[in-house]
């Protein structure tokens, strides 16, 4: 047990002697290191002694116990102070608690009371020290694992948009340097593939891991002289480079980097590059652009750099009508409307089949664009099927595809994505509807329970709320609200003796006249008739 240092302060010598003699300091694991007859003198030397506990009288000449305690706590925040006070000074002593005094003891002094107080104070000190030790351990672990936390957060930002303010604050916490003035951001995605994959199973996985580790080290070394460059690995093991340096010619750097990696690692290197974005809130958009650009390596081949900006005209071969249909497909898929999406896919295929030669030439391009878009939507919605789209992208050029098979492939993957999005939306909407219904029940007494007010509570439009309720309850908002108010009114009439106006207040209808008309319309009976019939029915049951 660690020995704690105690200082005694009292202008009466007898009190100090009694404290020394009556208390078994050794049993408490404490030692009285010094004592003072003056609080002024104590203040001059207290920091030199660095005590754990100070016992001081409240009334002393010059500086009283409370003033002394306040000054002492400011000098040594961890010290525990126990004040000795008489009954007539009790209210005065209570003020000491507000300034942080640990405890107080009433005179006349009793050894057992002081001993109990000192034990309690010791427990406080040990608890705080243990907490401090645990805190320091956790702080050390955080410091040690900071790179992992940085990596995890950057991965999160790739998939979920955040505000520039939040990103800046998080980067400061993770000790990552970002540009002090510019928020411009550009994302590059580096993918490595072994030239020869003769090994199988665990050995191949191990070789790929080693390749990624070597590539990550070389990339970080390559940019080591450049400020404001961030790195992480995405969910597919690809290396993400985020440039926050507006003065760095990233495109030129990537070309040199690609050549260096190919030479040093003897592997295939493909890089997808986003357009430059104005601020950190667009990092996830930039990442999606880099992913889409990288997907086009199937067209460009291995060992290439693809810039998203160069893909802007990739669908220029589509006619105005075909482009319109493709946009319809995207809308239907995003809305989870599988039947309409599949019909639009069929229409697009019919347009392409009219020109067999042209469609045969453009089939791989369109298939890549559609699968790539599905892949990005799966990432955005955090769907597990994203890996299936990624795998399919790698097979587009490996297996030639006929036109009928082309249509079936599009229908398959569009249908798969639409089904997953619809299921996710259904689950989300089910939870939202339940929350809305619970809110309406809990706030039934509010006369302001309008559809607009409820919609505002859930940050949705009134129109959307109305459609959700209609779909899930079969009733409009007004119909559902009337129904639950009616059920509540009936229950209160039968089970309580509340007056009509009290029932009206409980269900949010405060106008007694309107309440009577409304209830008569809903039940066919007046309030009093319904209550009387309810009581009669209740008596028959018993």
CATH number of the domain encompassing residue 529: 1.10.10.60
CA angle 86, 17, 46 (to 5 degrees): 80
111 to each of 125, 148, 267, how far by Cα in Å?
21, 55, 81
Give me the torsion for CA of 301, 306, 312, 318, rounded to 10°. Answer: 10
Backbone angles phi, psi at 12, to 5 degrees: -100, 120
What is the domain extent for residue 502? 443-541
pLDDT at 537: 62
pLDDT in tens, 515-526: 888 988 888 888
Query: What's the structural domain count of the chain?
Result: 4
Q: Higher confidence at residue 320 or residue 179? A: 179
The answer to whether residue 486 is domain-embedded is: yes
pLDDT in tens, 119-133: 999 999 999 888 888
Residue at a domain's end among 426, 458, 487 = 426
pLDDT at 204: 59
The answer to whether residue 324 is domain-embedded is: yes
The answer to whether residue 313 is domain-embedded is: no
Which tokens hold the place of 27? 């049993």
Give dist(CA 326, CA 49) in Å, integer. 80
Residue at a domain's end among 91, 119, 142 = 142
Are 177 and 290 contained in the same domain? yes
Are 270 and 340 contained in the same domain? no
Per-residue pLDDT at 26 exceeds 50: yes
82 half-sphere exposure, CB direction, 13 A CA radius: 24
Per-residue pLDDT at 541 exceeds 50: no
Are 477 and 448 contained in the same domain? yes
**Residues in the chain, how many?**
542
- Residue range 335-343: mean pLDDT, rounded: 86
Per-residue pLDDT at 184 exceeds 80: yes
Are 137 and 239 contained in the same domain? no
Are 378 and 415 contained in the same domain? yes
pLDDT at 308: 85
pLDDT at 88: 59
The answer to whether residue 79 is domain-embedded is: yes
Are 482 and 362 contained in the same domain? no
Give dist(CA 29, CA 5) in Å, integer. 9
| Res. 79 pLDDT band, cuts 50 70 90 | very high
Are 191 and 257 contained in the same domain? yes
| Res. 355 pLDDT band, cuts 50 70 90 | low
Nearest to 197 by CA among 263, 268, 259: 268
Q: Higher confidence at residue 323 or residue 442? A: 442
pLDDT in tens, 7-20: 999 888 888 898 88
Lowest mean pLDDT among 14-23, 29-38, 355-364, 496-505: 355-364
Which tokens hold the place of 330? 């995207």
- Residue range 386-412: mean pLDDT, rounded: 69
Residue at a domain's end among 108, 142, 176 = 142
Q: Higher confidence at residue 390 or residue 131? A: 131
Are 291 and 353 contained in the same domain? no
pLDDT in tens, 50-70: 999 999 988 877 787 788 888
| Res. 364 pLDDT band, cuts 50 70 90 | low
What separation, in Å, do the N-terminal and C-terminal C-alpha atoms of the chain show? 71
The answer to whether residue 130 is domain-embedded is: yes
Per-residue pLDDT at 394 exceeds 70: no
Give dist(CA 48, CA 33) in Å, integer. 11
The answer to whether residue 346 is domain-embedded is: yes
pLDDT at 273: 94
| Res. 450 pLDDT band, cuts 50 70 90 | confident
The answer to whether residue 151 is domain-embedded is: yes
pLDDT at 51: 94
Are 240 and 369 contained in the same domain? no
User: What's the pTM?
Assistant: 0.45
Is 229 within 8 Å of 243 (Cβ atoms)?
Answer: yes
Are 217 and 264 contained in the same domain? yes
The answer to whether residue 431 is domain-embedded is: no
CATH number of the domain encompassing residue 163: 3.30.70.270
| CA 333 from centroid of its chain's CA atoms | 27
Q: Higher confidence at residue 354 or residue 504? A: 504
Are 181 and 288 contained in the same domain? yes
Are 154 and 296 contained in the same domain? yes
Give dist(CA 260, CA 194) in Å, integer. 15
| % of the chain at pLDDT higher than 70 | 87
């Amino acid at each position: 047990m660690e020995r704690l240092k105690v200082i005694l302060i009292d202008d009466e010598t007898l009190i100090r002697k009694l404290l020394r003699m009556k208390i078994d300091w050794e049993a408490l694991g404490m030692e009285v290191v010094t004592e003072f007859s003056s609080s002024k003198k104590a203040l001059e030397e207290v920091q030199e002694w660095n005590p754990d506990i100070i016992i001081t009288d409240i009334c002393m000449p010059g500086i009283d116990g409370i003033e002394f305690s306040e000054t002492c706590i400011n000098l040594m925040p961890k010290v525990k102070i126990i004040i000795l006070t008489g009954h007539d000074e009790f209210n005065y002593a209570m003020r000491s608690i507000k300034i942080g005094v640990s405890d107080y003891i009433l005179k006349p002094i009793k050894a057992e009371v002081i001993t109990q107080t000192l034990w309690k104070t010791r427990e406080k000190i040990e608890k705080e020290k243990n907490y401090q030790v645990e805190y320091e351990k956790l702080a050390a672990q955080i410091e040690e694992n900071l790179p992992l936390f940085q990596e995890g957060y950057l991965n999160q930002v790739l998939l979920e948009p955040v505000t520039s303010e939040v990103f800046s604050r998080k980067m400061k916490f993770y000790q990552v340097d970002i540009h002090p003035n510019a928020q411009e951001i550009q994302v590059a995605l580096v993918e490595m593939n072994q030239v020869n994959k003769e090994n199988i199973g665990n050995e191949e996985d191990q070789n790929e891991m080693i390749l990624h580790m070597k590539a990550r080290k070389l990339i970080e070394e390559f940019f080591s002289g450049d400020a404001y460059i961030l790195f992480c690995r995405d969910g597919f093991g690809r290396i993400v480079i985020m440039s926050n340096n507006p003065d760095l010619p990233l495109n030129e750097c990537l070309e040199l980097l690609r050549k260096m990696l190919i030479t040093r690692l003897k592997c295939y290197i493909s890089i997808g590059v986003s357009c430059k974005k104005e601020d950190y809130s667009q990092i996830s958009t930039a990442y999606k652009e880099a992913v889409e650009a990288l997907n086009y390596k199937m067209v460009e081949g291995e060992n290439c750099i693809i810039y998203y900006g160069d893909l802007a005209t990739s669908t220029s071969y589509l006619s105005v009508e075909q482009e319109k249909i493709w946009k319809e497909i995207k809308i239907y898929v995003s809305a989870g409307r599988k039947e309409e999406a599949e019909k639009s896919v069929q229409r697009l295929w019919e347009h392409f089949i009219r020109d067999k030669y042209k469609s045969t030439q453009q089939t791989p391009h369109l298939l890549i664009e559609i699968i790539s878009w599905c892949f990005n939507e799966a990432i955005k919605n955090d769907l597990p099927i994203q890996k299936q789209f990624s795998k399919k992208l790698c097979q587009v050029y490996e297996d030639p595809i006929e036109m009928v098979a082309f249509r079936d492939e599009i229908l398959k993957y569009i249908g798969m994505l639409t089904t997953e999005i619809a299921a996710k939306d259904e689950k989300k909407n089910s939870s939202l509807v339940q929350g809305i219904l619970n809110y309406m029940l809990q706030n039934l007494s509010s006369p302001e329970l309008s559809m607009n007010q409820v919609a505002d509570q859930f940050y949705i439009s009134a129109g959307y709320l109305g459609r959700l309720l209609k779909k899930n309850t079969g009733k409009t908002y007004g119909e559902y609200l009337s129904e639950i108010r009616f059920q509540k009114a009936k229950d209160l009439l039968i089970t309580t003796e509340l007056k009509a106006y009290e029932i009206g207040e409980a269900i949010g209808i405060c106008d007694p006249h309107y309440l009577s008309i409304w209830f008569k319309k809903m039940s066919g009976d007046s309030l009093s008739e319904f209550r009387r019939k309810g009581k009669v029915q209740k008596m028959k049951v018993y």
